[in-house]
Structure 1
Amino acid sequence: MNVEGFFAAARQLPVAPLEALVGDKGLVVVAPHPDDESLGCGGLIAEARRLGRAVRLVVVTDGCGSHTHSALYPPERLRALREDETRAAVAELGLAPEHVRFLRLPDAHAPSAGPKAEAAATAILEEVDACEAGAVFVTWGHDPHCDHQASAAIVGLAQGMRPTLTAFAYPVWGWTLPAETEVGAAPEGHRLDVSAHVAAKGRAIAAHRSQTTDLIHDDPTGFRLAPEMIANFEGPYEIFIALQPEAIQP
């Protein structure tokens, strides 16, 4: 199935309550970079917290690849900024800062296999146990970014370590794929109604000021989320695609 048909089908997935995704348990969100959690799962996090569910966020990379030529924000300062932005963002969604874990793997070089990937998978399982998670949510393996694909593969490793672990994918950069791109079988999963949390999600996305404004103004090559990209995440539903271990790899 090409990506145009895939997303057309994804937009028709059944709307289901949080219980359909995680039962009566908590959840873990795995974000490749600081901001992916707000874009793809902001409503999910807010709804879970509204219902009093335990939530953990695992951020895989240090985010230092967004502005590699800034003198004002060299890597250490940029990492600290992006972690602070993440804590501010999830506070808008009702998540306490102590429930965010930063793995600090190198941006654009997150591993898909090997000891560091296995250690990341183990860290995710520790957070699963900490909140008695009913499911893990990670970026879609077809997202055209190496760290998004690696994060999906890491969750695949976690599923290999614990075959009963339920996982769902949320697309981020997948929305930008050419319409004819082949992405495999039709999606299975659910849409979550997050209409009650659209404003909070918008504030969470905006809290990532280094990615949405000219806060870092001395790097002409620096990354910035375009308004048309952000618009993909402003609707009343979030899409979660059911994953099997063998379906993790792009």
Structure 2
Amino acid sequence: MSGNLALHQALSGHEKIVVLAPHPDDETLACGGLLARAFADAGAHVICLTDGSASHPSSVNWPSARLAAERHIELIKAVEILGGTADDVTWLGLPDSRLHVVAETEVLAALTEVIDRHKAKHVFVPAREDKHCDHQTTAQHAETLRGKRPDLHFHSYPVWSRWDDPEFAQNTARYDPVRLNTSAVRQTKIAGIRAHRSQLGQIVQDDPDGFVLPEAMVDLFAQNDEIFWRMP
């Protein structure tokens, strides 16, 4: 099966998919429309690799364990808004911004078990162009897994590269990207993004240097088509 044919089948919603999210919120920002379509049809599953606890490192009121628990709750809420349930989420809870220190064999074993248990043939992975180290490590793990599992189809989705690369369109044109119109579920996707309250400056108040999703970035992903391509 050609790469783009497999991608179009995955985008149709008629075949079950798995989304690998380095952090809670990546799944909704980049794949919220895709997930809503899949949940309404063949089904989907989200594997969140890290615990998201590094977004506010200077907070006293929200130490890493408490923040990780909050982000887990937010992820489940977002998935529920998109049409899934808590059973459609696997939380690996690996160290945020330090995914690269975890043995690849451990990560691959966990990913393989979930993918096979859910009988999915399509796996969506953050683009290698994303500069965040956890996104790049997730993409590297997917590349290794692809070498071991030719029966699976791997597809890329951009997060940070779509936001911060001024030449994003030119740099990804060689992949022949496919756009998914999400207008029918736009309000649902926006609500899913808004469920990640800790990343929108609404929860942690004692870390002025902590991460906050820029509103312009939220608008970019909420108001426009989603973009995918065959993982190169």
Tell me, in whole angstroms, the C-alpha distance in 1 between the residues paired with 2:172 and 2:148: 25
TM-score by length of 2: 0.90
Greater RCO (Cα-Cα under 8 Å, separation 6 or more): 1
Q: 1:164 aligns with which of 139, 145, 151?
A: 151
Q: What residue number does 2:60 align with? A: 71
For residues 10-159 of structure 1, the aligned pairs below 5 Å read: 19=9, 21=11, 24-51=14-41, 53-111=42-100, 116-159=103-146
SS in 2 for 1:94: coil
Tell me the alpha carbon deviations over residues 51-99 of structure 1, each in whole angstroms, 9 at most, x when there is no partner. Answer: 2x12111001110110111111101101100000000011000111022
Aligned residues: 227
In the TM superposition, residue 17 of structure 1 has moved relative to its aligned partner by 8.9
Task: Tell me if structure 1 keeps the 8 A contact 2:49–2:93.
Answer: yes
Tell me the alpha carbon deviations over residues 93-139 of structure 1, each in whole angstroms, 9 at most, x when there is no partner. Answer: 01110221111111111128xx7222212222222212221210011
Task: Tell me if structure 2 keeps the 8 A contact 1:25–1:132.
Answer: no
In the TM superposition, residue 164 of structure 1 has moved relative to its aligned partner by 2.5
Tell me, in whole angstroms, the C-alpha distance in 1 between the residues paired with 2:58 and 2:38: 38
* Residues 1:22 and 1:151: Cα distance change in structure 2 (over 3 Å): farther
For structure 2, list consecutive stretches of 5 or more residues without a partner in the other structure: none
In the TM superposition, residue 207 of structure 1 has moved relative to its aligned partner by 0.3
Task: Tell me if structure 2 keeps the 8 A contact 1:22–1:135.
Answer: no
TM-score by length of 1: 0.83
For structure 1, list consecutive stretches of 5 or more residues without a partner in the other structure: 1-13
Task: Tell me if structure 2 keeps the 8 A contact 1:22–1:134.
Answer: no
Task: Tell me if structure 2 keeps the 8 A contact 1:27–1:55.
Answer: yes
Structure with greater helix share of residues: 2
Two-structure CA RMSD over aligned residues (Å): 2.3
SS in 1 for 2:103: helix
Q: What's the % identity of the aligned pairs?
A: 38
